[in-house]
Amino acid sequence: MNTFLDKMKAETLDDQTTKRLHSRILELSEIGFTEDQGSKRMGYSKFETEAKKKIINWMKDVGMTVRTDGAGNVFGRYTGHDDSQVFMAGSHVDSVPNGGHFDGVAGVLSALEIAELWHEENYTPAYSYEVVIFSDEEGSRFNSGLTGSRAFMGLIDEEELDKYRDPEGKTIDEVLGNIDSNRKKFLATDGPDYKIKMYGEIHIEQARQLEEKNLPVGIVSGIAGATRTNITFRGEAGHAGSTPMHQRKDALVQASEFIRTLPEVATSISTTAVATVGKMKVSPNGVNVIPGEVQLVVDARDINEAQQAELIQAIRRHAEKITAQSEVTVDVDLTTRITPIPIGKDVIAKMEESFRRQDQIPVHLPSGAGHDAMSVGTKHPITMLFVRSIRGISHNPEEFSHISDLRDAVLILKDFFENFE
Ligand SMILES: [Zn+2]
> Using one digit for the tens of pLDDT, what is the confidence trace for 278-288?
989 999 999 99
3-state secondary structure of 69: coil
pLDDT of residue 184: 95
Ligand 1 mean position, distance from CA 137 (Å): 7
Ligand 1 mean position, distance from CA 138 (Å): 7
Q: Does one domain contain both 212 and 322?
A: no
Q: What are the binding residues for Zn(2+)?
A: 92, 103, 138, 203, 395
Instruction: Give the pLDDT mean for 199-210.
Output: 97
Q: Does one domain contain both 106 and 40?
A: yes
CATH classification at residue 247:
3.30.70.360
Which domain-ending residue is among 302, 337, 372? 337
Ligand 1 mean position, distance from CA 326 (Å): 44
Round to whole Å and give the CA distance between 65 and 49. 18
Instruction: Give the pLDDT mean for 288-317.
Output: 96
Q: Does one domain contain both 20 and 114?
A: yes
Q: Does one domain contain both 209 and 242?
A: no
Q: Does one domain contain both 262 and 235?
A: yes
Q: What are the binding residues?
A: 92, 103, 138, 203, 228, 288, 301, 395
Burial of 6 per CB tally in 10 Å (0-12, 13-18, 19+): exposed
pLDDT of residue 359: 98
Q: Does one domain contain both 308 and 367?
A: no
Instruction: Give the pLDDT mean for 179-204.
Output: 93
Ligand 1 mean position, distance from CA 6 (Å): 23
Check: CB of residue 225 under 8 Å from CB of residue 338. Answer: yes
Ligand 1 mean position, distance from CA 397 (Å): 14
Ligand 1 mean position, distance from CA 395 (Å): 9
Ligand 1 mean position, distance from CA 418 (Å): 25
User: What domain count does the chain have?
Assistant: 2
Instruction: Give the pLDDT mean for 86-110.
Output: 97
pLDDT of residue 141: 84
Reported as a pLDDT band with limits 50, 70 and 90, residue 71 is: very high
Residue 1 has pLDDT above 80, yes or no: no
ipTM comes to 0.96
Ligand 1 mean position, distance from CA 213 (Å): 22
pLDDT digits (tens, 9 = 90+) for 118-138: 999 999 999 999 999 999 999
Instruction: Give the pLDDT mean for 333-337.
Output: 90
Ligand 1 mean position, distance from CA 203 (Å): 7
Q: Does one domain contain both 160 and 30?
A: yes
pLDDT of residue 307: 95
Across all residues in the chain, what is the average pLDDT?
Answer: 95
Q: Does one domain contain both 369 and 300?
A: no
Q: Does one domain contain both 128 and 258?
A: no
pLDDT of residue 411: 98
Q: Does one domain contain both 117 and 195?
A: yes
Ligand 1 mean position, distance from CA 110 (Å): 13
Which domain-ending residue is among 319, 337, 355? 337
Query: What angle is formed at CA 301 by the lines to CA 300 and CA 306, rounded to 5 degrees?
Result: 115
Residue 309: give the domain boundaries: 225-337
Q: CA nearest 364: which of 195, 213, 200, 229?
A: 213
pLDDT of residue 181: 96
Instruction: Give the pLDDT mean for 137-146.
Output: 87
CATH classification at residue 142:
3.40.630.10
Q: What are the binding residues for allantoate?
A: 228, 288, 301
Ligand 1 mean position, distance from CA 369 (Å): 9
Ligand 1 mean position, distance from CA 243 (Å): 52
Q: Transcribe 249-285 into DSSP letters.
A: B-HHHHHHHHHHHHHHHHHHH-SS-EEEEEEEEEES-
Check: CB of residue 178 under 8 Å from CB of residue 186. Answer: no
Q: Does one domain contain both 250 and 157?
A: no
Round to whole Å and give the CA distance between 149 and 191. 9
Ligand 1 mean position, distance from CA 114 (Å): 19
Q: Does one domain contain both 81 and 117?
A: yes
Ligand 1 mean position, distance from CA 101 (Å): 10
Which domain-ending residue is among 292, 314, 337? 337
Instruction: Give the pLDDT mean for 18-31.
Output: 98
Residues 6+ away with beta carbon under 8 Å from 183: 158, 161, 172, 173, 176
pLDDT of residue 34: 96
pLDDT digits (tens, 9 = 90+) for 228-262: 999 999 999 999 999 999 999 999 999 999 999 99
Ligand 1 mean position, distance from CA 325 (Å): 44
